[in-house]
């Protein structure tokens, strides 16, 4: 009797694992579902990034508008924002006090695309000065993913 109960338990566990693997495979198979999931993961990562986090963004044509927050308690001077090794043009040095949120706009090196077109920038780098130390770089661990406006 004990052997039969253990066997039944293992069979049920195997079925549950197979169903879970099929569901994960389907999420990767359907681009719409996977894209929405990746976009949400990107937004969550960038909203919690430090010292600069992106709380809102809009990319339209060649214009990028980012709402940034300084997550530190000290003053930072943002000197550059780089999308995939291309600096966001027209962004001047901007001072952020501790916890301050500001919206910046600049020109992208390439056109984002038509409204609703997905974009993905693998490397986002913020360059800033802090307490007399210049050109500190914050590089994101996750890509910036969204849709053009």
* CATH number of the domain encompassing residue 39: 2.60.40
What percent of the chain is modeled with pLDDT above 90?
63
Beta bridge partners of 105: 65
Q: Residues 61-102: pLDDT tens digits? A: 999 999 999 999 999 999 999 988 888 877 777 899 999 999
What confidence score (pLDDT) does residue 31 get?
Answer: 55
Neighbours of 73 (CB within 10 A): 9
What confidence score (pLDDT) does residue 84 get?
Answer: 81
Q: Which two tokens stand for residue 95?
A: 């001072």
Domain that holds residue 85: 31-147
CB 53 within 8 A of CB 47: yes
What confidence score (pLDDT) does residue 102 get?
Answer: 94
pTM over 0.85: no
The gap from C-alpha 96 to its chain's centroid, in whole angstroms, comes to 21
Residue 7 lies in a domain: no
Mean pLDDT of 8-16: 90
Question: Which residue in 148, 144, 149 sits closest to 47, CA to CA?
Answer: 144
Residue 18 lies in a domain: no
- For CA atoms 44, 100, 70, 81, the dihedral sign is positive
Number of domains in the chain: 1
- Residue 110's pLDDT band (cuts 50, 70, 90): confident
The DSSP annotation for 54-78 comes to EEEEEEETTEEEEEEEE-SSS-EEE
Residue 1 lies in a domain: no
**Quick check: 44 pLDDT over 80?**
yes
Alpha-carbon Rg for the chain in angstroms: 22
Mean pLDDT of 8-14: 90
């Amino acid at each position: 009797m004990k052997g039969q109960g253990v066997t039944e338990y293992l069979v049920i566990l195997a079925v549950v694992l197979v169903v879970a693997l099929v569901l994960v495979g389907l999420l990767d198979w359907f681009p719409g579902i996977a894209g929405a999931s990746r976009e949400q993961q990107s937004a969550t990562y960038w909203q919690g990034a430090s010292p600069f986090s992106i709380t809102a963004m809009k990319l339209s044509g060649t214009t990028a508008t980012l709402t940034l927050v300084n997550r530190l308690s000290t003053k930072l001077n943002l000197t550059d924002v780089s999308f995939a090794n291309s600096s966001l043009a027209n962004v001047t040095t901007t001072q952020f006090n501790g916890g301050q949120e500001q919206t910046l706009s600049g020109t992208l090196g390439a056109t984002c695309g038509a409204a609703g077109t997905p974009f993905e920038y693998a490397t986002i780098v913020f360059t800033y000065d802090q307490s007399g130390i210049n050109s500190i770089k914050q590089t994101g661990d996750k890509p910036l993913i969204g849709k053009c406006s």
